[in-house]
Copies of this chain bind each other. A is one copy, B any other.
Amino acid sequence: MKIALDAMGGDFAPEVTVAGALDAVAEYGIEVLLVGNEARILSVLKDKKGISPKISVVHASETVEMHEKTSAALRKKKDSSIRRAVELVKKGEADAVVSAGHSGVVMATSLFVLGKLQHVDRPAIATIMPSLTGNFLLIDAGANVDCNPINLLQFGYMGDAYYRAIFNHDNPRVAILSIGEEDSKGNELTRDAFKYMKNAQFNFIGNIEGKDIFQGGAEVIVCDGFIGNIALKVSEGVAEMILKMLKMEIANLRTGKLGYLLIKPALRNFKKRTDYSEYGGAPLLGINGTSIISHGRSSAKAIKNALWVAAEMASKGVVKTISQSLKDFNQVRADVKG
């Protein structure tokens, strides 16, 4: 597998992106095309003694900064590292692309250059989150702020196909994120989506409440991108608050210092279980190619894992699987409307 990596993308690029690429080469034997400012990338590669036949550099003269407007960046920066990296996939010179750069631009460029799959109205971001029993996939985690029921149905198909492939799961449970389990509960969007979903070919188990997604209630959680982003950010915020509060409370105890030392390995294990960098990045599903969007603050480990996810998705032909599973979607739509 050959993956194009936007070497200039992310808060700590290109040092961290190059480091992540070298780790992915060493650990998984993935070939990486480092895309961006050639001189800077080569200098980091030399520092890290990273010259290897599995690493090559593709020059791009421009870099998209995090604060730029998506539309302006798309229009003006035709030779950005993001654009060049995505184009390598389009031209068949790479099997997938990974970027920790400006996520709006990565999304828009991927969609623009690679195009949508047939039957897909709206591509969506699929993010893995931890649960008590393992993990679940949240789709859409932020690509589409206003959705219709058909969009949600498509998210169900895409999430199901992705989860099966990546986790070798043979029947993931798919649920709609809502405010009650009965089909009558929810807002207009989720109630309508429920009617379509129950006729879908995937394993639809109904609505799931926000409390139950972290208890392992389903493998694929479907929602619109506004709700998905709020759920994602709220859970990050709560986790951050809890850990800070606990640390403060422990520091306030006379016995706290020793107690903290004794439980420190448990905190470390906990962090590992819930660390976003373990999953590396989230794919934009529904486009005609494999594009993984990583967190701007990605560490080398996160980049390495994102490269693994990209290689996994490409080698298992997830895009093709999604495309095939969406074929029966039109029938479901017709059945409900009829």
Contact = CB atoms under 8 A, between A and B. Distances in A.
Contacts of A244: 132
Interface string A204-246: 0000011111110000000010110111111111111111111
Given A232-B210, A249-B269, A187 B256 contact: no
Contacts of A334: none
A131 to B, nearest CB: 7
Contact of A210 (B212, B213, B230, B258): B230
7 contacts: A132-B244, A132-B245, A145-B179, A210-B232, A235-B238, A253-B263, A258-B259
A262 B258 contact: yes
A336 interface: no
Interface of A: 130-132, 142, 145-146, 177, 179, 186-188, 190, 209-215, 224, 226-227, 229-246, 249-250, 252-253, 255-256, 258-263, 265-267, 269-270, 273-274
Contacts of A242: 238-239, 242-243, 270, 274
- Give the interface SS of chain A, mostly helix, strand, loop or mixed: helix
Given A146-B188, A211-B233, 7 more contacts: A177-B230, A212-B237, A214-B237, A249-B269, A255-B263, A259-B260, A260-B263
Contacts of A262: 253, 255-256, 258-259, 262
A210 to B, nearest CB: 3
Contact of A240 (B146, B187, B214, B253): B214
Given A146-B188, A187-B145, A270 B249 contact: yes
Nearest to A217: B237
Contact of A227 (B131, B209, B227): B227
B179 A229 contact: yes
A125 to B, nearest CB: 12
A253 B266 contact: yes
A231 B266 CA distance: 28
Contact of A245 (B190, B252, B259, B270): B270
A245 B231 contact: no
A215 B187 contact: no
Q: How many copies does the complex hold?
A: 2
A238 B241 CA distance: 11
Contacts of A229: 179, 210
Contacts of A146: 187-188
A73 to B, nearest CB: 15
A272 to B, nearest CB: 10
A230 B231 contact: yes
A104 to B, nearest CB: 10
A250 to B, nearest CB: 4
Contacts of A261: 259
A193 to B, nearest CB: 13
A243 B239 CA distance: 10
A246 B230 contact: no
Contact of A263 (B131, B190, B226, B250): B250
Contact of A237 (B190, B210, B245, B255): B210
B270 A263 contact: no
